[in-house]
């Protein structure tokens, strides 16, 4: 903040940041919860829950594999639950 020149616009931005900080966090939490549910659906077949759309979800794996480690930690699983994915 200190390296930016002071201006009225910057002041409004800062004010907006102050007020929206907790709201942004809650929206991020809500969106993360939605993502977590989606990831569960995608990984469901590998976890033993039949998923008729499993074949199509395979296409998503390259995109979601990076999120897998954080996801299983959030779900309360310290180690990867899937034999095929050894992230930790």
Residues that bind another protein (CB under 8 A): 1, 12, 14-23, 25-30, 32, 70
Residue 52: is it exposed, middle or buried by C-beta count within 10 angstroms (0-12/13-18/19+)? exposed
Work out how close the CB of 15 gets to another protein at its nearest, in angstroms, rounded to a whole number: 7
Tokens of residue 24, six digits: 């942004």
Listed residue (43, 53, 48, 34) closest to 87, CA to CA: 43
Nearer to another protein, 3 or 59 (CB): 3
Q: Which is nearer to another protein, 36 or 45 (CB)?
A: 36
Greatest Cα-to-Cα distance within the chain, rounded to the nearest angstrom: 58
Residue 43 CB, shortest distance to another protein, in Å, is: 20
Closest distance to another protein from the beta carbon of 29 (Å) = 5
* Residue number, 25 or 79, with CB nearest to another protein: 25
Question: What is the C-alpha to C-alpha distance for residues 38 and 44, in angstroms, rounded to an integer?
Answer: 10
């Amino acid at each position: 903040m200190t390296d930016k020149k002071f201006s009225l616009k910057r002041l409004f931005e800062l004010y907006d940041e102050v007020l929206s900080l907790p709201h942004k966090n809650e929206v991020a939490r809500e969106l993360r919860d939605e993502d977590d549910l989606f990831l569960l659906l995608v990984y469901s077949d590998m976890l033993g829950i039949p998923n008729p759309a499993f074949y199509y979800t395979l296409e998503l794996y390259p995109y979601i594999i990076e999120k897998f480690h954080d996801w299983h930690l959030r779900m309360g699983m310290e180690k990867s639950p899937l034999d095929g994915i050894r992230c930790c």
